[in-house]
Structure 1
Amino acid sequence: MRELRYNPLTGQWIMVSAVRKKRPWRPKNFCPFCPGGEETGFGWEVLLLPNKFPMLDFKAEKPQNEDFYKKARAIGQCSVIVETPEHNLKDLDELSLEQMVKVVELWKNVTMELKDNPHVAYLAIFRNKGEEIGVSLTHPHGQLYALPFIPLKARLKIENSRKHYRRFGECLFCRILREEMQSERAIYENGSFMLFMPFFANWPFEIHIYPKKHVQWLTQLNSEEIEDLADILRVATATLNALFERQMPYVMNVYQAPFKGHYDFYHLHIEFYPMLRDRNKLKYAAGIELGTWEFTYDGVQEENAQKLREACKKILERVEAKGRCFRV
């Protein structure tokens, strides 16, 4: 059984899939993402695979609606992005720049392919890292969901961006970028992108990546900008992993504009939500966060940004970064 269920209280669609219960948990003797497997074969550098336990499927059947509650087809695509043939790499910062470019190019190409699909309203590209997040397979990989609706968080960002543009005649993200470049929260920049902790960070070491050029989709980036994005992603993950001298569990999301409609006021961006507030202390989304969707911040953003700057400075030479860390 696979379907979408509508929550009339929040305006959200809930993805329901019974097949998800069958997902394996960290198999010890076999990795389905390694070269030579039934799905993978040999001779590849990055790979897009269908998720074997998807929430969405273009062949999903139409569910029968109830008298009051609304259902819809769970139509769409769930895919796995295998980022390297090498099984034992821990994070994106251990990929070479050339390999990371191939990953970003795959993101761009799949965006181009799905953008014209009439069933896809929004493409969510994301990455989960760490057992604390519930990652079931350790081979380096990301995921994508091609959704038939625009998710609530994206809708809120779009609406606030639209309001700001109508009032001030400027992109809200471009304004945030100007503010953060002059702040204590700026961490790293290269020719095309900037890494910073936002003034309004929710998670203790939350970081964002903004392109300096006003674009809505990955498809609008040229080859130099793709390489700069690959560079800053390696720097961002290396910085997080150097912060407490251990692998940082996190969730990463790529936010592009929806595929249907006009969004000239919107701006491509990437957000990381790291799960640690100290070396061995997790930041839990607990009562106030889950109950109200309003976050409390354990500390001061500027103080934690300073720690990230210090961590960033340590890793620049190792990752052969193209840009510069903001002064500690």
Structure 2
Amino acid sequence: MFYFDDGPGHDRTAPDTRSLHAFAPGAELRHDRLTGEPVLVAAHRQTRTVSSAGGDCPLCPSRPGHPTEIPAGDYHVAVFENRFPSLGGPVGGRCEVVSFSSDHDRSFAGLSDARRFTIGRAWADRTAALSAVPGVEQVFVFENRGAQVGATLSHPHGQIYAYPYLPPVQASVLRAARAHRAAGGGCLLCPIVADQAAGPLVVAETEGFVAFVPEAARWPYEVHIAPRGCVPYLTGLDDEGLAELMYLYGDVLSRFEDLFGDGETAYMACWHQPPLHQTDLTHFYVQVFTTRRSADRWKFLASSESGAGAFINDVLPETAAERLRNVRVRGRA
């Protein structure tokens, strides 16, 4: 259990009083012989905790008679190893849960700047620690918010997967980065970020970072956030840069939440840090997207997307960028 606080002076020494079964991850890594891609089989996750009510939430602080995953009676940010992991054991790797707040009803977009910075510190700290675990090839930070995109707990939280192999999306980006360098280019992301920062697809920006809709967006509403300079990992940012990034990230999430005027837009957020042990891909980016394409319609991955891997977007990226730009972000005039 790791606690990260907005400031000093907090006691987080309460012990875990539960009697738990021995931790025994049961994941298995297989390979698709047709595509060559890895597939994790984790049947034990069928029994993982599913809860949407605050009274029995496993991520709320422990209280008398109701011990939870987090022993402390209060906390700011807590990180612990997932008891129902998709990785670990013979497969290798690690799965960690990151709880963003002790407040069950808070969303990431509703957190203070100080808390967002604390979460960024936690992500950077765990990126460094998990990158040092033998056999880990990729550290992937993510959040699923909303039951419509598969979140099984409504408490504000995300996860970190330390993959012992390279996931297909990262493998594809790495191939493109290597081809770009082999053709005489440098960093694959740097010219993309520069081009997008000067175009009509920008949603929001700061001095050091830019948020934009990718020109070939796969999802109805999708935003990438990237540093303007070439920074490979969260660990490469100083405190000022990390605070600036987390401010912009919160801004983007606020736009997604309020995109359709109800504050309930479900989304997925993926932090694409480069694979470890390579020098071709040297620029991280964040991907935020929703499968909601209008107030009452959702994007489903039908045969073209699920079977052929050929995405069809129902929303023009330029239209998505304009709508996201025009969302009134909370706390601003």
Give the one of 278, 298, 302 matched to 1:282.
Answer: 298
Give the one of 39, 46, 50 matched to 2:69.
Answer: 39
Alpha-carbon spacing, 1:243–1:272, altered in 2? closer, same or farther (3 Å): same
> 1:227-306, aligned counterparts within 5 Å?
227-246=243-262, 247-263=264-280, 265-306=281-322
Aligned to 2:326: 310
For 1:230 and 1:254, locate their aligned partners in 2 and report how far apart those are by CA, in whole Å. Answer: 12
- Contact persistence 1:92–1:233 (CA under 8 A): no
Aligned to 2:80: 49
For 2:152 and 2:59, locate their aligned partners in 1 and report how far apart those are by CA, in whole Å. Answer: 12
- Contact persistence 2:256–2:267 (CA under 8 A): no
Aligned CA-pair RMSD: 1.5
Q: Residue 220 of structure 1: CA displacement?
A: 0.3
Work out the number of aligned pairs and report it. 301
> 1:179-190, aligned counterparts within 5 Å?
179-190=195-206
For 1:236 and 1:110, locate their aligned partners in 2 and report how far apart those are by CA, in whole Å. Answer: 23
For 2:131 and 2:84, locate their aligned partners in 1 and report how far apart those are by CA, in whole Å. Answer: 23
Give the one of 133, 141, 153 matched to 1:117.
Answer: 133
1:222 aligns with 2:228: no
Q: Percent identity?
A: 29
TM-score, normalization: structure 1? 0.88
Give the one of 89, 98, 103 matched to 2:119.
Answer: 103
TM-score, normalization: structure 2? 0.87
Alpha-carbon spacing, 1:239–1:229, altered in 2? closer, same or farther (3 Å): same
For 2:69 and 2:311, locate their aligned partners in 1 and report how far apart those are by CA, in whole Å. Answer: 41
Residue 59 of structure 2 aligns with an amino acid whose one-letter code is: F
Aligned to 2:21: none
Structure 2: gaps (5+ residues): 1-25
Q: Residue 85 of structure 1: CA displacement?
A: 1.0
Aligned to 2:11: none
Give the one of 81, 89, 102 matched to 1:85.
Answer: 102
Alpha-carbon spacing, 1:16–1:305, altered in 2? closer, same or farther (3 Å): same
Structure 1: gaps (5+ residues): 61-72, 322-328
1:14 aligns with 2:30: no
Between 1:174-183 and 1:8-17, the stretch displaced more is 8-17
Specify the SS of the correspondent of 2:126: helix
Alpha-carbon spacing, 1:319–1:108, altered in 2? closer, same or farther (3 Å): farther
Aligned to 1:4: 29
- Contact persistence 2:220–2:292 (CA under 8 A): yes
Aligned to 2:8: none
